[in-house]
């Protein structure tokens, strides 16, 4: 094969009209190596898990928690859900590549926490357009299309009645105390290191959509800002939907470095 022919290699090995440049080919090789390594690692981990399971069984130890099969079957049910959650993924332009990657990890945590819940909440990824960097980030995670989430390029306001939407934002004057039936609670899908203050509040107000903040200061004293990450916000909502009290779930989810302390004057019922 002469050097010219070599240049015509393509992603799937099939001939393509546009030959790859040297740089593109190097990038492709690097990606293929990475995928191969990932596959090997996964296989190793799978084998390790299997071995551990056998060893535990031999020792007569029962494995706690749901099996992978059970987890797969544990899906959200829109019909019986009292409320739904939308994660607004329309903030591409406000994020650098590493923020998008961090947001992607947060989305993975959300999906994982939800599938382990007693009653998973229906989750929508809204405003997710295919030509965005956010979409490309998600695509890096091969399995994301099998997640139990409803991905849509439409906005939450095109999916739900406007008067049944509450945009969650730390800057709202309204405090969320309980979930209302049939409502959709929107979380801003953004990692902004506090550089976009008031972004979601302005957005919701311009659209005439209700807003609410989580009742952090009502139950805990924290040392830093009350702006949470997307997954922390979700995990708090999930905890409350499963019957935990606000203070219980806040103490569980808020990071230690924020040093949450319970406010003593708040009654135990809350
Ligand atoms: C990292 S924050 C984004 C902050 C961003 N500057 C903004 O304007 O929303 C990610 C999202 O989590 C939710 N969130 C974070 N802290 C919250 C709080 N204290 N109350 C309600 N929602 C909160 C909001 O939906 C927010 O958009």
pLDDT per 10-residue tile (average), the chain, 270 residues: 42 61 89 87 85 80 70 85 97 96 96 93 98 96 91 97 97 96 98 95 98 94 84 97 94 76 51
Interval 132-176: pLDDT, tens: 999 999 999 878 999 999 999 999 999 999 999 999 999 999 999
User: In this structure, which residue's CA is closest to atom 18 in ligand 1?
Assistant: 170
Is the minimum distance from the CB of 153 to ligand 1 under 6 angstroms? Answer: no
CB 95 within 8 A of CB 189: no
pLDDT, residue 17, reads 62
C-alpha 214, offset from chain centre:
18
**Annotated catalytic residue: which of 131, 192, 202, 268?**
192
Q: Supply 232's token pair.
A: 């922390």
Distance CA 72, CA 53 (A): 19
CB 141 within 8 A of CB 107: no
CB 124 within 8 A of CB 85: yes
User: In this structure, which residue's CA is closest to atom 24 in ligand 1?
Assistant: 169
pLDDT, residue 159, reads 97
Is the minimum distance from the CB of 101 to ligand 1 under 6 angstroms? Answer: no
Distance CA 241, CA 119 (A): 8
CATH architecture for segment(s) 78-262: 3-Layer(aba) Sandwich (3.40)
CB 202 within 8 A of CB 185: no
CA of 136 relative to ligand 1 center, distance in Å: 23
pLDDT, residue 8, reads 40
CA of 69 relative to ligand 1 center, distance in Å: 34
> Residue ranges of the domains in the chain?
22-64, 78-262
pLDDT, residue 258, reads 60
Distance CA 210, CA 172 (A): 9
């Amino acid at each position: 094969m002469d050097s010219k022919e070599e240049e015509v290699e393509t992603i799937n090995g099939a001939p393509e009209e546009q030959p790859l440049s040297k740089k593109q080919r190097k990038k492709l090789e690097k990606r293929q190596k990475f995928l191969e390594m990932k596959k090997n690692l996964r296989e190793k981990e799978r084998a390790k898990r299997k071995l551990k399971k056998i060893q535990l069984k031999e020792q007569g130890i029962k494995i706690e928690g749901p099996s992978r099969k059970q987890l797969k079957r544990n899906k959200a049910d829109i019909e019986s859900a009292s409320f739904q959650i939308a994660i607004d993924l329309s903030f591409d332009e406000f994020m650098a590549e590493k923020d998008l990657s961090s947001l992607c990890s947060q989305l993975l945590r959300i999906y994982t926490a939800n599938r382990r819940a007693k009653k998973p909440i229906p989750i929508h990824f809204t405003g997710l357009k295919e030509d965005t960097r956010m979409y490309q980030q998600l695509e890096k995670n091969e399995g994301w299309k099998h997640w139990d989430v409803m991905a849509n390029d439409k906005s939450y306001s095109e999916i739900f009645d406007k008067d049944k939407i509450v945009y969650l934002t730390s800057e709202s004057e309204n405090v969320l105390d309980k979930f209302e039936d049939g409502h959709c609670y929107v979380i801003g899908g953004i990692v902004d290191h506090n550089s976009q203050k008031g972004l979601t509040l302005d957005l919701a107000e311009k659209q005439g959509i209700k807003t609410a903040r989580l009742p952090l200061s009502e139950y805990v004293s924290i040392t830093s800002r009350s702006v949470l990450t997307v997954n922390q916000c979700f995990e708090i909502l999930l905890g409350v939907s499963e019957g935990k009290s606000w203070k219980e779930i806040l103490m569980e989810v808020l990071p230690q470095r924020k040093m949450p302390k319970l406010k003593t004057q708040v009654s135990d019922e809350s």
